[in-house]
Structure 1
């Protein structure tokens, strides 16, 4: 494991004693509606406004300080705002984990901003759509000359931005979805993103995801809220606590169990809904936008 240094925002100092090899900026840590949610005055959204924090739709910026390049994991609909707010560099490449709008539709923001950026996505056909994620990217954004869809086979590492990147299948019915593993080959620094997933991540994927310096884990709500889901919870732990909310996303408890399963050195919970009770919504290890991690 590498020393992980936490800073706050792009202007915060680092005490690592030198430049980081990999700088991870959490651009968006929220679910589909974000926090605060538009038109919502629940206690959690109110607390977020009072604290001056937010969770926009999911996206992560990964800068390789050795090569001077950066990789974007998922293209949030809040792309423009996130990049202006955090002041990070525009991406040299992107990875799309799945085709839900809150992870994909930010691609439209590249118009007249980027000239030519590869967009990596899985090449497996989704039985639900009849297309792979890469094919959906190509069809939905056929009009954007600035992006080049790059199909990649899950479990087969590929190189971009000086990183070795691997897509790993997870469990997000009814659509296929992938976790993303990013490694810096010169130093071995490793970031793992769970993807939108239930706790039922395949063993082969877990093996590739294992032992990250930083783990970003989907954790949409606490397990206590499973009683309010029409399908309840599932994948209960030894104490009966649900690790999956419904069928699509991990609970907080499930995400932390997965983090332990894969031996994560540091875990931040992301893709968070505003349904977290206000007294729990901003406690560690729940992330908010703007956090920066140096690996």
Structure 2
């Protein structure tokens, strides 16, 4: 299993358009980018490629990285920075299986699969399949499981991708720290954990809602309500027993002197599991 982090940024990416903060300035000076979230997973045994979320930066990501075009895709939730790159399937692939959860979202009255199917009904190349959360299915020769996480107000899912070699990739998806126990069990013991960590815990003081899910020392593990802090993501990684952890969905709210330090990921990182 070969994993390439195509997009490691939050909704605005880093550098953020129109921003001259120290972090965005440093990113420009270093030639470093965090585009919107997407992960490319190649099955080296079958030479198939699975894409987890389709960033609106799809074209830039595929031109910048030496990765094969996708053979199938997973959509974790319907926020534009994870979904709107799907339009790039037009004229690029003849038949693209797309997997998404079939659980109805009370907020929208549709499942993620339903929304993708409706929004992209003009793309004949797409074949949308609704999948039951927490139930494994096969895609690109991998065993894949969509796991419910907590990203209010919409339903959202992480993904567990396992190869017959025993390699395991766990992706939290967009989530706060309150991931359900059943999902934590599925995410546990990965060779590589890709975890949402939008900001340092110290930055919660600037969020209108502050932080949540504090640890025993009062450190917030959730930034506002929707995303984990760096500290929350690292606490989760410890709990899950991750062999390697990379933090994604990273914003420009990290100070310039720490924004590019491990384990904060940047675009283009590649791992072989």
Per-residue displacement from partner, 1:39-93 (whole Å, max 9, x unpaired)? Answer: 1111000000111110000000000000010100000000011011002101110
* Structure 1, gaps ≥5 residues long: 1-21
Determine the C-alpha separation between the residues in 1 that align with 2:121 and 2:208.
38
For residue 82 of structure 1, the aligned residue among 61, 77, 80 is: 61
Q: What CA distance in whole angstroms lies between the structure 1 residues aligned with 2:193 and 2:66?
A: 23
Q: Does 1:99 align with 2:42?
A: no
Cα separation, 2, equivalents of 1:267 and 1:100: 24
Does 1:180 find its partner at 2:159? yes
The runs of at least 4 aligned residues of structure 1 exceeding 4 Å deviation read none
SS at match of 1:211: coil
Instruction: Quote the residue 2:186 is aligned against.
Output: 208
1:131 and 1:164 mapped to 2: Cα distance?
A: 25
Are residue 130 (structure 1) and residue 129 (structure 2) matched?
no
Secondary structure, counterpart of 2:264 in structure 1: coil
- What is the TM-score with the length of structure 1 in the denominator? 0.92
From 40, 51, 62, the equivalent of 2:41 is 62
Q: Secondary structure at the match of 2:208?
A: coil
Mapped pair 1:255 → 2:196: no
Root-mean-square deviation (CA), in Å?
Answer: 0.5
**Is 1:224 equivalent to 2:212 in the alignment?**
no
2:147 to 141, 148, 168: 168
Cα distance in 2 between the residues matched to 1:275 and 1:144 = 37
Aligned residue among 111, 115, 118 for 2:94: 115
CA–CA separation in structure 1 for the residues paired with 2:17 and 2:126: 30
Q: What is the aligned counterpart of 2:221 among 229, 243, 248?
A: 243
Correspondences of 1:10-21 after superposition (within 5 Å) = none
1:275, distance to aligned residue in structure 2 (A): 1.1
Provide, for residues 158-183 of structure 1, a one-character-per-residue CA deviation record: whole Å limited to 9, x for no partner.
00111000000000000000000000
Residues 137-165 of structure 1: CA deviation (Å, up to 9, x unaligned):
00000000111111000011000111000
Q: Which residue is equivalent to 1:193?
A: 171
CA distance in structure 2 between the aligned counterparts of 1:77 and 1:221, rounded to whole angstroms: 22
The answer as to 2:70 corresponding to 1:71 is no
Residue 290 of structure 1 corresponds to: 268
Match of 2:25 among 35, 41, 46: 46
Distance 2:205 2:17 in 1: 25
- With normalisation by structure 2, the TM-score equals 0.99
User: SS at the partner of 1:113?
Assistant: coil
1:152 aligns with 2:131: yes
Alignment partners' CA distance in 2, 1:136 and 1:194: 21
How many residue pairs end up in the alignment? 273
Q: CA deviation at 1:199?
A: 0.2
